[in-house]
Amino acid sequence: MVVAHPSAMRRGAQLEPRARAAPVIPISGLSKTKWAAGHFNVFPLPLLHVIAAENRFELDQRAWGAHLELAAPADTTTLDVTRRVACLSPEGVHLLLQRLVHADTRAPIRLDTLAAVFAPKLEELELLESWQEELVAPVIAQGGDVAATLSRAAEAFEAFVASASTQNGESIRALLDDPRRASEARRLVAAEIRRRRARDA
């Protein structure tokens, strides 16, 4: 399981050569109450087998968890997008980061504080996912190579969000960094997706 925080695992449109990852293994003796009070080196994934099944992967119905004590850099070239079993929700990302910080430092950081730190990045990743879904899916449906098509689309997205998109010369990324203007960024990205889809139709 990749446990690197969203800002640390990407450089532009591409993944960093290495990202921190932790092994996912069955954890025994874990419960809701015990998790909250201890087991600081474990990040439980209680519904992993359910989510995996939704994504057409078969996993035993066991108490899975990421063993953070064994987290180490992993070569990102070994990550296969077609083998992604599950993906954390934004709240899950915040919980994981909270757990990681606490496991490493014993400093308890509130979830809303972590959410405020990572909000622009998660927003950008959400827009990237929409971009991929709207623009890449039709290409892959016609037989395009998944990894290569996703990579090209990610580069196009990176170029778009980094370039000036408003009359004042602000980029999408700059707008996303301002909570009062993030919605403007989303509208601009949605309009660009529509424009590209119409162009490619």
- The footprint of another protein (CB under 8 A) covers 7, 54, 89-90, 109-110, 112-114, 116-118, 120, 122-123, 126, 129-130, 133, 177, 179-187, 190-191, 194
Q: Which of 61, 64, 62, 72 is nearest to 35 (CA)?
A: 64
**Residue that the structure tokens 């996993």 belong to:** 59
Q: How far is the CB of 119 from another protein (least distance, A)?
A: 8
The residue (of 39 and 193) whose beta carbon lies closer to another protein is 193
DSSP for 74-103, written as a single string: EEGGG--GGG------HHHHHHHHHHHHHH
- Report residue 26: phi and psi, to 5°: -65, 130
77 touches 102 (CB < 8 A): no
Tell me the C-alpha distance between 8 and 16, whole Å.
Answer: 8
The residue (of 30 and 117) whose beta carbon lies closer to another protein is 117
Q: How far is the CB of 179 from another protein (least distance, A)?
A: 6
The residue (of 31 and 163) whose beta carbon lies closer to another protein is 163
Q: How far is the CB of 28 from another protein (least distance, A)?
A: 27
Residue 39 — left, alpha, or beta (φ > 0 → left; ψ -120 to 50 → alpha)?
left
97 touches 118 (CB < 8 A): yes
Q: How far is the CB of 43 from another protein (least distance, A)?
A: 18
Q: How far is the CB of 124 from another protein (least distance, A)?
A: 11
The residue (of 95 and 117) whose beta carbon lies closer to another protein is 117
The residue (of 70 and 137) whose beta carbon lies closer to another protein is 137
